[in-house]
Amino acid sequence: MNSLLLKIIFVATSLINFIMIDIAVAATDTNPQLLLKSYAAQAKKENPSFKEFASLRGEQFYHAERVHSEGDKVSCMTCHTTNPKNIGKTRAHKEIKPMAVSLNTERFSDTEKVEKWFKRNCQDVLERTCSAQEKGDFIAYLLSVK
Amino acid sequence: MNIPKINTPRINSPRLFKFQILILLITITSTSALLASNSTDSDTQSKAARSKIDNLTLVANGAWKSECGSCHLAFPPGLLPERSWRKMMTSLDKHFGENARVDEKLAREITQFLVANSADLSGNRRSSKILQSIPRENTPLRITETNYFIRKHDEISASVFKRPKIGSAANCSACHKGAEQGDFSEHNVSIPR
């Protein structure tokens, strides 16, 4: 067993150790760019003529005021305020950290969390599931807010 | 070819190699165990010893904290009786005007935690007082409806609860600075203007 091989083993195991510890301590398993990639693939499946996400569409989506079937006005702004850089408030008055990625780097870093909230909030605001394109446009907008 | 190595320390290579493999295996195993433990913080933690202080001791259950605490303070389980929690967890789709459903496995875990720490089963003094203030035939879903809560807040007018920094009586943390830790002591109250 020569010492070069030993050195390689040392380095490899150290690397593996560091990576595994990294995974263990962080709840993050994705990032906005990875999510956009995955939503783009989905969007293409849902609509073959899909080209790319547009932060402008996402901005309109965020600000669109809708009327719920139960009569009240509702929109993303209801909880996240008119500007995604602001601290929002849930219906139970609990603070929500900013949606703008520039101000909150935890956003879009946990796939499970992202999917859970898209599912809940699209149901709350639009009373349906959001399409992959809507999700991607939304993320693109929140990435663009500086 | 035999090239003599001068001044090289003599390492027993096969043994060192085996040692390194052992370290690697131990690291991988313990890391996997750590990863696995992150997703099941249930029974062992909810059965942890409870302190006898007046604070509602919060035995942190990860699922409860993150699911029930996403829209409002995760209300300490000791503030309602078991029957209320059971009713709440079986009607999550109609949760005060929202659909708060979680997947079955999580729901079971959370229910288990809530029941184990509910007012009936917790040894806490405040919990017993809350329990006694609820008629047996009632199953309140709102802590703010219990006679205990009403009595305790009878000096606070409705308009105070409507202050922008507070919003409603459900926003305990606005005034009870220790609410997240289960501390509702009067001495730790600061009412925003």
* % of chain B beyond a pLDDT of 70: 78
Residue B174 above 70 pLDDT? yes
Residue B115 above 70 pLDDT? yes
How high is the pLDDT of residue A18? 64
Q: Answer whether A67's CB lies under 8 Å from A73's CB.
A: yes
Least confident of A7-16, B128-137, B176-185: A7-16
Nearest to A134 by CA among A55, A31, A32: A55
Mean pLDDT of the region B118-137: 94
B16 touches chain A (CB under 8 A): yes
Element (H, E) at B149: helix B147-152
Search chain A and give the residue with CA nearest B23: A13
Which of B67, B171, B175, B176 to probe by mutation at the A interface, max A CB count within 10 Å? Answer: B171
DSSP string, B160-178: HHTSTTT-STT-GGGTBTT
B36 touches chain A (CB under 8 A): no
More confident residue, A106 or B12: A106
More confident residue, A13 or B181: B181
A123 touches chain B (CB under 8 A): yes
Mean pLDDT of the region A6-35: 72
The pTM of the full predicted model, rounded to 2 decimals, is 0.71
Residue B36 above 90 pLDDT? no
Question: How sure is the predictor about A17, in pLDDT bands with cuts at 50, 70 and 90?
Answer: low
How distant, in Å, are the alpha carbons of A56, A94, A118 from that of A76?
A: 15, 16, 11
Mean pLDDT of the region B163-180: 94
Question: How sure is the predictor about B60, in pLDDT bands with cuts at 50, 70 and 90?
Answer: low
Angle at A53 between CA A48 and CA A54, to 5 degrees: 130
Question: How sure is the predictor about B41, in pLDDT bands with cuts at 50, 70 and 90?
Answer: very low
How high is the pLDDT of residue B57? 52
A1:B14 CB<8 A? yes
Which tens digits make up the pLDDT trace of A100-142? 999 999 999 999 999 999 999 999 999 999 999 999 999 999 9
What is chain B's mean pLDDT, rounded? 84
Question: How sure is the predictor about B12, in pLDDT bands with cuts at 50, 70 and 90?
Answer: low
A9 touches chain B (CB under 8 A): yes
Nearest to B170 by CA among B100, B94, B68, B40: B68
Search chain A and give the residue with CA nearest B27: A17
Q: Which residues of B81-102 are buried (b: 16+ CB within 10 A; e: fewer)?
A: bbbbbeebbeeeeeeeebebbb
Search chain A and give the residue with CA nearest B24: A13
Question: How sure is the predictor about A22, in pLDDT bands with cuts at 50, 70 and 90?
Answer: low
B167 touches chain A (CB under 8 A): yes
Residue B149 above 50 pLDDT? yes
ipTM: 0.72
Which tens digits make up the pLDDT trace of A50-96? 999 999 999 999 999 999 998 999 999 999 999 999 999 999 999 99
